[in-house]
């Protein structure tokens, strides 16, 4: 599956469904983004069960700001509508494959339970 351009109008629909979604926040002027782009594209061709989305931070400044993207490239992984990974910096292909495996292996019932516990706990300063 090829990558999909994601905009503020398509983000919620893209990340809220079942399955895995990987988002690459990038810009044309960004050297590391240009290095990571082909790795991300190649991975998308190998994993047709995963949605690979690209968000151009120049064209989608409002969206990048809302998601607090302060460094690019930034990679986010969602599974079943839950943000499970977020990291700035380009990943080499083997690490991207490791990430995909780790996201596939998550016990989402356990993830949801942990999130509920975190939200129920009072803020500790």
* 33 catalytically annotated: yes
Contacts of 16 (CB under 8 A, 6+ apart): 81
* 122 catalytically annotated: no
| Distance separating alpha carbons of residues 65 and 73, to the nearest angstrom | 14
Secondary structure of residue 89 in the 3-state scheme: coil
Q: What Rg value do the Cα atoms of the chain yield, rounded?
A: 15
**Residues 20, 21, 22, 33: which is the catalytic one?**
33
**Residues 6, 20, 30, 77: which is the catalytic one?**
30
Do the bridges between strand 82-88 and strand 51-56 make them parallel or antiparallel, or are there none, so unpaired? unpaired
Give catalytic residues, as residue numbers.
30, 33
């Amino acid at each position: 599956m090829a990558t999909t351009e994601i905009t503020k109008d398509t983000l919620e629909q893209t990340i809220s469904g079942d399955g895995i979604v990987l988002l690459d926040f990038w810009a044309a002027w960004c050297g590391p983004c240009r290095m990571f782009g082909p790795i991300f594209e190649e991975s998308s061709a190998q994993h047709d069960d995963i949605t690979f989305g690209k968000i151009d931070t120049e064209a989608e400044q409002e969206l990048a700001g809302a998601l607090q993207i302060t460094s690019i490239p930034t990679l986010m992984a969602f599974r079943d509508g839950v943000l499970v990974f977020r990291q700035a910096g380009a990943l080499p292909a083997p690490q991207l494959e490791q990430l995909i495996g780790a996201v596939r292996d998550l016990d989402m019932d356990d993830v949801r339970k942990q999130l509920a516990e975190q939200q129920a706990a009072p803020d500790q300063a």
